[in-house]
A and B are shown apart, each in its own frame.
Chain A
Amino acid sequence: MASGNMTLNLKIWRQKHGEAQGKLVDYKVNNVLPEMSFLEMIDVLNEQLVSKGEDAIAFDHDCREGICGMCSMMIDGKAHGGFKNTTTCQVHMRLYKDGDTIVVEPFRAQAFPVVKDLTVDRSALDGIMAAGGYTSANTGNAQDANSILIPKPIADEAMDAAACIGCGACVASCPNGSAMLFMGAKVSQLALLPQGKPEAPKRALNMVMTHDHLGFGNCTTHAECEATCPKGISIEHIARMNREYLKAAFTYFEKKRDE
Chain B
Amino acid sequence: MMTNAVSHYCRSSIGRKHLMALTGLALCGFLVGHLAGNFLLMVGPDAFNLYGYKLFSLGSLLYVIEAGLGLVFLVHLGLAIKLTIENKKARGPQAYHMKVRTGRGTTFMSQTMPYTGLVLLVFIILHLMNLKFGAYYSTTVDGIEMRDLYRVTMEFFTSIGNVVWYSFAMICAALHTAHGFASAFQSLGLNHPRFYPAIKKISYLYAIVIGGGFAFISIWAHLKGV
Chain A residues engaging chain B, CB cutoff 8 angstroms: 11, 13, 22, 24, 74, 76-79, 82, 103, 105, 108-112, 114, 172-173, 175-178, 180, 208-209, 211-212, 215-228, 234-236, 238-246, 249-250, 253
Contact across chains for A245 and B15 when beta carbons are under 8 A apart:
yes
B57 to A: closest C-beta gap in Å: 38
B146 to A: closest C-beta gap in Å: 43
Find B186's partner among A208, A211, A238, A246 (CB 8 Å cutoff): A238
Contact across chains for A218 and B91 when beta carbons are under 8 A apart:
no
User: B89 within 8 Å of A by Cβ?
Assistant: yes
Neighbouring A residues of B5 by C-beta, 8 Å: 249-250, 253
Neighbouring B residues of A226 by C-beta, 8 Å: 104-105
Contact across chains for A239 and B189 when beta carbons are under 8 A apart:
yes
CA gap between A38 and B91 in the complex, in Å: 26
Contact across chains for B100 and A175 when beta carbons are under 8 A apart:
yes
User: B83 within 8 Å of A by Cβ?
Assistant: yes
User: B196 within 8 Å of A by Cβ?
Assistant: yes
Q: A220-B83, A239-B189 are in contact. Are A109 and B14 (CB under 8 A)?
A: no
Nearest A-chain residue to B196, judged by Cβ = A236
Find B102's partner among A114, A217, A224, A235 (CB 8 Å cutoff): A224
Contact across chains for B101 and A220 when beta carbons are under 8 A apart:
no
Other than the given A226-B104, A236-B191, A243-B188, 15 more pairs (CB < 8 A) read A77-B99, A77-B100, A82-B103, A110-B90, A175-B87, A177-B90, A178-B13, A208-B13, A208-B14, A217-B89, A222-B105, A227-B104, A241-B189, A242-B188, A253-B1
Neighbouring B residues of A216 by C-beta, 8 Å: 13, 90
Contact across chains for A246 and B189 when beta carbons are under 8 A apart:
yes
Sample (27) of A-B pairs whose CB atoms are under 8 Å apart: A74-B96, A74-B98, A77-B99, A79-B100, A108-B94, A108-B95, A109-B90, A109-B91, A173-B100, A175-B106, A177-B87, A212-B12, A218-B87, A220-B17, A222-B107, A224-B105, A226-B105, A228-B104, A228-B105, A238-B191, A239-B187, A239-B191, A242-B187, A244-B189, A246-B188, A250-B9, A253-B1
Contact across chains for A178 and B87 when beta carbons are under 8 A apart:
yes
Neighbouring A residues of B17 by C-beta, 8 Å: 218-220, 242
User: B49 within 8 Å of A by Cβ?
Assistant: no
Which residue of B14, B91, B98 has the most chain A CB atoms within 10 A of its CB atom? B14
Contact across chains for B98 and A105 when beta carbons are under 8 A apart:
yes
Find B90's partner among A114, A217, A223, A244 (CB 8 Å cutoff): A217
Query: What bracket does the count of chain B residues touching chain A fall in?
Result: 35 or more
Contact across chains for A103 and B86 when beta carbons are under 8 A apart:
no
CA gap between A239 and B107 in the complex, in Å: 19
B43 to A: closest C-beta gap in Å: 38
Contact across chains for B18 and A177 when beta carbons are under 8 A apart:
no
User: B34 within 8 Å of A by Cβ?
Assistant: no
CA gap between A24 and B96 in the complex, in Å: 11
Nearest B-chain residue to A76, judged by Cβ = B98
CA gap between A166 and B13 in the complex, in Å: 21
Neighbouring A residues of B1 by C-beta, 8 Å: 253
User: B44 within 8 Å of A by Cβ?
Assistant: no
Would you list the 6 A-B pairs with minimal beta carbon distance, nearest first?
A243-B189, A217-B90, A77-B98, A224-B105, A239-B191, A227-B105
Neighbouring B residues of A176 by C-beta, 8 Å: 86-87, 90-91
Contact across chains for B15 and A249 when beta carbons are under 8 A apart:
yes
CA gap between A242 and B13 in the complex, in Å: 10
CA gap between A35 and B200 in the complex, in Å: 41
CA gap between A78 and B106 in the complex, in Å: 12
CA gap between A234 and B192 in the complex, in Å: 11
User: B54 within 8 Å of A by Cβ?
Assistant: no
Neighbouring A residues of B186 by C-beta, 8 Å: 221, 235, 238-239, 242
Contact across chains for A220 and B98 when beta carbons are under 8 A apart:
no
Neighbouring B residues of A222 by C-beta, 8 Å: 105-107, 110-111
User: B176 within 8 Å of A by Cβ?
Assistant: no
Neighbouring A residues of B188 by C-beta, 8 Å: 242-243, 246
Contact across chains for B92 and A208 when beta carbons are under 8 A apart:
no
Neighbouring B residues of A78 by C-beta, 8 Å: 100-102
CA gap between A158 and B190 in the complex, in Å: 18
Contact across chains for B191 and A209 when beta carbons are under 8 A apart:
no
Neighbouring A residues of B107 by C-beta, 8 Å: 222
Neighbouring A residues of B99 by C-beta, 8 Å: 77
A240 to B: closest C-beta gap in Å: 7
Contact across chains for B86 and A217 when beta carbons are under 8 A apart:
yes
Contact across chains for B15 and A227 when beta carbons are under 8 A apart:
no
Find A242's partner among B18, B90, B103, B182 (CB 8 Å cutoff): B18
